[in-house]
Amino acid sequence: MKYTLVIILLLAIFAPSIASAGIVPCGGPEQKSCNLCHLYTLVKNGIDFMLLDLILPVAVIALLIGGIFLLASRGNPQMMETGKNAITNTIIGVIIAFGSWLIIATIVNTLGYDNFIAAWNKPPVCQDSLAGKPPPGGVPPGAERKFCVTKLPDGTVDCRDKGKEKECFEGCPGGTCQTACPAPVPPEGLTHQEAKEQLDAAGITITSTGGCSNKTNPDCTSLDGVRQKTIDGIIKFKQECNCPVNISGGTEDGHDTSGACTHGNGCKLDISHKAALDNYVQKSYENIGRCFPAASVCYRSPSGQIWANEGSHWDVAFK
């Protein structure tokens, strides 16, 4: 019973020290993630706590008790013997405890290093765990997704997800493999509405087989991205020709994209055949023969416009 009371008394005395000892070195708030190195630190912290925070205070109390017995013995052999034994056993216990601590601390601290170091008083510094974190330098080369980026003749960029690095290099002829698609570049030139307002003011009409102006629909007639120079050129032609002008094709998808001057980059327009317009082009411009396969005959204006007769319409390049 008396030993139980002593243990309870000691726990009550040292409970605050146990709670604030910080024996566990990892895994808590604002602490590093745990790894094998922290196991050695945990063992060392436990040993240090028992030796310095528990055994030394208990030893001091035991020495005080032994001294009290000696002072109070007043020649009583039994009390004097008890006091001497308490002091002697305490000193021997402290020597054994410190000797054991020295041996165990040396072993634990030494094993905590990659190479053998006799580190009896210096524990290893544990680095943060690599679990769940990317390796140094980020994602390993070839592990990230690759995108095939190809520049099209009309100046736009095509970007397609090709998976890993090997698949991208094998399936991206004429392009470059990048880790992300480049940011979309706002289209150069006018919007469809801006161009239409200028054409309306000049008396030039716009028609489409689909009755629409969606640039991605080949059945539409769109002027999104058309160059101001192109609009100026067709307005000037209208003024010189003094004839009806109708645009039946603009920058919408479905046109040939080869060459530097294309529908897609706003350099070309399709113009409907009209008797007065055809007569003006054929009589006023230079016949230069067949300028490309789809044309039956081509004409060049003094300002450098190329009018190619493609049968159903004129294909006009405003270079």
pLDDT of residue 176: 85
Residue 35 included in any domain: yes
pLDDT in tens, 268-281: 999 999 999 999 99
Return the higher-pLDDT residue of 59 and 39: 59
Of the listed ranges 5-19, 39-53, 106-120, the one predicted with least confidence: 5-19
Q: Are residues 94 and 147 in the same domain?
A: no
Q: Are residues 218 and 289 in the same domain?
A: yes
End-of-domain residue from the set 146, 165, 185: 185
Q: Are residues 181 and 206 in the same domain?
A: no
pLDDT of residue 201: 96
Q: What is the pTM of this model?
A: 0.45
Q: Are residues 106 and 148 in the same domain?
A: no
pLDDT of 125 strictly over 70: no
pLDDT of residue 155: 63
Of the listed ranges 87-91, 142-146, 156-160, 250-254, the one predicted with least confidence: 142-146
Mean pLDDT on 115-137: 49
Q: Are residues 309 and 207 in the same domain?
A: yes
pLDDT of 94 strictly over 50: yes
Residue 124 included in any domain: no
pLDDT of residue 95: 85
| Structural domain for 55, as ranges | 2-111
Residue 123 included in any domain: no
State the DSSP string of 178-235.
ESSPPPPPPPPSB-HHHHHHHHHHHT-EE--TTS---TT-TTS---TTB-HHHHHHHH
| 83 confidence band (pLDDT: 50, 70, 90) | confident
Q: Are residues 217 and 310 in the same domain?
A: yes
pLDDT of residue 1: 44
Q: Are residues 85 and 166 in the same domain?
A: no
Residue 160 included in any domain: yes
pLDDT of 192 strictly over 70: yes
Number of domains composing the chain: 3
Q: Are residues 142 and 90 in the same domain?
A: no
| 212 confidence band (pLDDT: 50, 70, 90) | very high
Residue 118 included in any domain: no
pLDDT of residue 288: 94
Range list of H helices, the chain:
2-19, 36-48, 56-73, 77-111, 165-170, 192-202, 228-241, 275-284
pLDDT in tens, 283-319: 999 999 998 888 899 999 999 999 999 999 999 999 8
Residue 116 included in any domain: no
pLDDT of 243 strictly over 80: yes
Q: Are residues 99 and 7 in the same domain?
A: yes
Residue 15 included in any domain: yes
Count the Cβ atoms, other than its own, within 10 Å of residue 302. Answer: 8
Q: Are residues 200 and 232 in the same domain?
A: yes
Residue 84 included in any domain: yes
Q: Are residues 84 and 38 in the same domain?
A: yes
Of the listed ranges 133-142, 259-268, 275-284, the one predicted with least confidence: 133-142
Q: Which region holds residue 206: left if phi is over 0, alpha if psi is between -120 and 50, else beta?
A: beta
Q: CA–CA separation, 82 vs 77, rounded Å?
A: 9
Q: Are residues 214 and 240 in the same domain?
A: yes
